Chains A and B, each alone.
Chain A
Amino acid sequence: DTGVSQNPRHKITKRGQNVTFRCDPISEHNRLYWYRQTLGQGPEFLTYFQNEAQLEKSRLLSDRFSAERPKGSFSTLEIQRTEQGDSAMYLCASSSLTGPNQPQHFGDGTRLSIL
């Protein structure tokens, strides 16, 4: 059972640049989630997909952020015109719709550092 895979593990970029992260969920999982985690805090919800449909977006997800899951498999999270405040760990998780109350399985995250 391969877990949730995120790439890259680390991204360092200059303020104002665009960045894109990728998440490959567990293959049979229908739902895919993006969270952001800063030091000393728990993960904060950004958005989630059920198959290819984006079902909910947090108010944290400004218009500089966009997420896609075009074929209901992998997902990308893009941040345009990055700002210092975007520095964080970006976590992806997936879960199954089979049965109620399924837990989310997390990847190791992509750490973004803005210079």
Chain B
Amino acid sequence: GDSVTQMEGPVTLSEEAFLTINCTYTATGYPSLFWYVQYPGEGLQLLLKATKADDKGSNKGFEATYRKETTSFHLEKGSVQVSDSAVYFCALAPTNAGKSTFGDGTTLTVKP
């Protein structure tokens, strides 16, 4: 079945540092890929998505590129802020908008 593997956390960075959170997946067909973010005490929010190979999703300074050859969708940000502290989830979904499969999440803490 489908699966998503995220780099283990927690990740602690200083403000303005470069962020990479690795995500790899296993799936049949050509799923859509997503990053969701969960701030403390809040629900999951969509951060960005990519729907086909080589697509780049971007939002709020975060980027991720759909790499079919390496089955990866790594999340990057050039300069993190304290307000980026949250749990980040990588997910995939089949193209017919069925259920999503999530990774276990990576906790990011950014210190001033």
A residues whose Cβ falls under 8 Å from a Cβ of B: 4, 31, 33, 40-45, 48, 55-56, 91, 93, 95, 97, 100-109
> Assuming A42-B89, A101-B49, A101-B51, is B97 touching A91 (CB within 8 A)?
no
A101–B93 contact, CB under 8 A? Answer: yes
**Least Cβ–Cβ distance between A39 and chain B, in angstroms:** 10
Partner of A104, one of B42, B95, B100: B100
Docked complex Cα distance between A91 and B36 (Å): 14
Chain B, interface residues (CB within 8 Å), range: 20 to 34
A45–B51 contact, CB under 8 A? Answer: no
CB 8 Å contact bits of B1-13 with A (1 = contact, 0 = none): 0001000000000
Which residues of chain A are near B105, meaning CB under 8 Å? 40-42
A103–B46 contact, CB under 8 A? Answer: yes
A106–B51 contact, CB under 8 A? Answer: no
B29 at interface, CB cutoff 8 A? no
A-B contact pairs, 7 of them (CB 8 A): A40-B104, A45-B101, A97-B97, A100-B95, A101-B93, A106-B36, A106-B45
B22 at interface, CB cutoff 8 A? no
Give 14 A-B pairs besides A42-B103, A100-B95, A101-B97 with Cβ atoms closer than 8 angstroms: A42-B89, A42-B104, A43-B89, A43-B102, A100-B32, A100-B96, A101-B32, A101-B49, A102-B97, A103-B34, A103-B46, A105-B46, A106-B43, A108-B43
- Chain B minimum-CB-distance residue to A56: B99
B43–A91 contact, CB under 8 A? Answer: yes
